[in-house]
Chains A and B, each alone.
Chain A
Amino acid sequence: MQNLSATSVPGVLLDLSGVVILLLAFACLGSKLFNRYVAYYGAQSVVLSFAAGVAAYAFGSVELWILAGATLAIKGIGIPVAARRLLIRRLDLKRDAALSTGLSTSLIAGGGLTAFAYLVTRPQLLPHGLVAAAVVPLSTAVILLGALAMVVRRHTVAQLVGWLIVENGVFLGAITLVATFPFIVEAGIFLDVVAGVLIMLVFVSGLTRELASASAAELRELQG
């Protein structure tokens, strides 16, 4: 992937997908409804699978095609549908009230983190003129925004979505920076994400049963 220039058609498409993915992360950060978190995450994953498809086309890589398909099926459709059925509808979640900062504050902080991502990754790491130089700061910003969402949101479902956004950011960086990890590794990462979501679904349901609401703000029992 090192030699894909930023001005080639696949390069422009990848760059564009990166921007849309970042915008969707911002949209998630600026929203208060559980439905929207999941919808934005799903949309982000669909764009990500499109980006993986572009990279697969540019490199003629079968493995990347498989990954693009798996991303669409699992992250774009499977996880959002499961989250909607098993969490949002069953637990009747609507508005997220467990924010530790206001929406505007977290959006401003998100803007700051994006600038920081550009500052850190752009000048020293990446050669100019390649698509990676444009997309890696974007993916770093997505990682930081996901982490920010996990920090300012105290509801367990929101934290879960935050982690998934971080993971999407790493994946975006991976497809542009290094084309692909060895296939076994990529497949393993995928399995980990799926298993992680499953086990977190169990915990969220369990916590909801035990506490009145599954907000991590009420997880105050263990301190010190």
Chain B
Amino acid sequence: MMTLAFIVLAGPLAGAAAAVAGARARAAGWASAGGACVALAAAVWLVSGQLHRAPLRGLGGFLYVDSLSCFFLLTVAVVTVLAAVGSVGYISAEEAAGRLSGFQVRLYYVFFGLFAALMLASLETGNLGLLFVLIEASTLTSAALVGLEGKATSLEAAWKYVIISSLGVTIALAGTLFLFYSASALHLAPDLRLTWPYLFAHAHALAPASLRLAFLLAVVGYGTKVGLAPMHTWLPDAHAEAPSPASAMLSAALLNTGMYAIIRFLAIARAGLGPEFPRVVLLVFGFLSVIIGVLFMVRRGNFKRLFAYSSVEHMGIIAVALGFGGVLGLYGALLHTLNHAIAKAVLFLNSGDIALRYRTRESAGVRGLLAAVPLTGAALLLGSFAVLGSPPFGLFLSEFTIVRAGFAGASPVLPLLLLLLLAVAFVAFARTTTGMATGDPPGGDVGAASLYPSRAVGLAAILPVAAGLAVLLVLGLWIPAGLGTLISHSIAVL
């Protein structure tokens, strides 16, 4: 089992190793995709083996895999596979068009592999200090991806991202410090005082004043990485400027990793302080994020920014669900995490294809997608409706669960407000994406198949989009027994 846990980490590094060894875009891309598949296979194997067993522990608490980590591992591993396969298409096309040099392509694969491996590693550690170290390291590697194109705007986005996120995560470190301190009455060995299962087991004995401060600092700090408002300002820039597969990784994997860290702190805070304080904190940040996300989605402009604000909104929804609490709320939060991750990966990967064809990221410049490139246009429409929570896609089910969890609480005002905001989001988002899909195509070589250097590469661009949509459809109609058990076990951990 322990070996499997390490194979999960080593998988994504295959692409990085190939790129360091000097492989060209296509070879490094296939290596990276293959490695990601290995990681996913190992993760599935690990999860199915762990499903009915005690958490996997080792290395003095530095390695700790329970159901909650398994769930997030699975989510991130799926997203990594989608993004790695999508990278083959996007990066090869960019190189063929001469917009990325060979050196930039190699840099991309090195940092992509490191980024994925670091996120997976942060989900496998039980030590909250090491969690900080790995999340900060993943910030740095992904900043390199954001700034990859080297233009003034992408460097600006990368700078904003790295400076705001580093400050945020350093605040989370201060929170970790106060958590460590709150455990000083426990007489645990120093190594164990940062280890999640021990802290959780002794949560009632932690000093409440410093635990409260620790939780608040952790939500603000890791919330910066999650993109909770008002700490979200880096997010739309970074998502808009990164290469599309990297945007998919940011939105679908990195934000969830941050949310995972918040959930770990939440569990300790609920056990130590009672449910009321964490509930209020999460509801405030959650609703603020949904409102800000929805308001900025009304504006038309860069379509990758639109998707990014939709991520802010969805992270807000997950925070609200965690705030509603109860079995329903937590179930909805986790299910929504998985659904949103896949839907957003689909949208961003698809946006790569659109940006390559139309040479613009402005939605006003994109018309007639359905007529010119039927596959991409259909995927854009289906992906939009999936991410907006229309049936029969998975997000409908999870948003429905979250709203029900809200109505199970004391007041119906909050869930009604959430429904209203979701309706506004639907109109604002669909207005832009349907506008892109319909109308007359601008002519020229927009629909040309020669965009990708070979047929296999073109297939790699469309395959993850189609596969993601299929998974979303399945999740909307039927939740596999194993996944249901995994989510229930994760809730039991909390």
Taking Cβ atoms with an 8 Å cutoff, the residues of A that contact B are 2, 120, 124-125, 140, 143, 147, 150, 156, 159-160, 163, 166-167, 170, 173-174, 177-182, 184-185, 188-189, 191-192, 195-196, 199-200, 202-204, 206-207, 210-211, 216, 219, 221-222, 224
Contacts and interface: CB of A to CB of B under 8 A. Distances in A.
Contact of A173 (B134, B174, B184, B296): B174
Given A174-B177, A185-B194, A203 B129 contact: no
Nearest to B240: A222
A214 to B, nearest CB: 9
30 contacts: A2-B184, A125-B209, A140-B174, A156-B159, A159-B163, A163-B170, A166-B170, A170-B174, A173-B174, A174-B177, A177-B177, A177-B180, A178-B190, A185-B130, A188-B130, A189-B132, A195-B137, A196-B136, A199-B140, A203-B147, A203-B155, A206-B150, A207-B152, A207-B159, A219-B159, A222-B156, A222-B241, A224-B236, A224-B296, A224-B305
Contacts of A120: 213
B209 A203 contact: no
A159 B49 CA distance: 47
Tell which of A170, A199, A211 has the most Cβ of chain B within 10 Å. A199
B141 to A, nearest CB: 9
In the A-B complex, the 7 residue pairs with the closest CB atoms = A188-B133, A185-B129, A210-B152, A124-B209, A222-B237, A219-B156, A192-B136
Say what secondary structure dominates the interface of chain A.
helix
Interface of B: 62, 127, 129-130, 132-134, 136-137, 140, 143-144, 147, 150-153, 155-160, 162-163, 166-167, 170-171, 173-174, 177-178, 180-181, 184, 190-191, 193-194, 207, 209-210, 213, 236-237, 240-241, 296, 299, 301, 305
Given A182-B127, A222-B156, A199 B184 contact: no
Contact of B174 (A143, A150, A184, A185): A143
B162 A200 contact: yes
B136 to A, nearest CB: 5
B144 A199 contact: yes
A204 B143 CA distance: 13
Nearest to B195: A182
Given A147-B167, A182-B191, A185-B194, A222 B158 contact: no
Given A170-B174, A224-B301, A199 B133 contact: no
Nearest to A136: B181
B104 to A, nearest CB: 13
Contacts of B210: 125
Nearest to B234: A222
B312 to A, nearest CB: 13
Given A156-B163, A224-B305, 15 more contacts: A143-B174, A150-B163, A163-B166, A166-B167, A170-B174, A170-B177, A177-B177, A181-B129, A182-B190, A189-B173, A199-B140, A203-B143, A204-B159, A221-B152, A222-B160
A137 B162 CA distance: 27
A77 B349 CA distance: 44
Contact of B140 (A167, A185, A195): A195
A74 B265 CA distance: 32
Contacts of A195: 137, 140
Nearest to A185: B129
Contact of B194 (A143, A163, A182, A204): A182
B290 to A, nearest CB: 18
A24 B147 CA distance: 33
A140 to B, nearest CB: 8
Given A125-B210, A179-B190, A189-B133, A203 B158 contact: yes
B180 A181 contact: yes
A177 B194 CA distance: 14
Given A2-B184, A203-B155, A219 B160 contact: yes
B62 A184 contact: yes
B167 to A, nearest CB: 6
A126 to B, nearest CB: 9
Contact of B155 (A125, A159, A210): A210
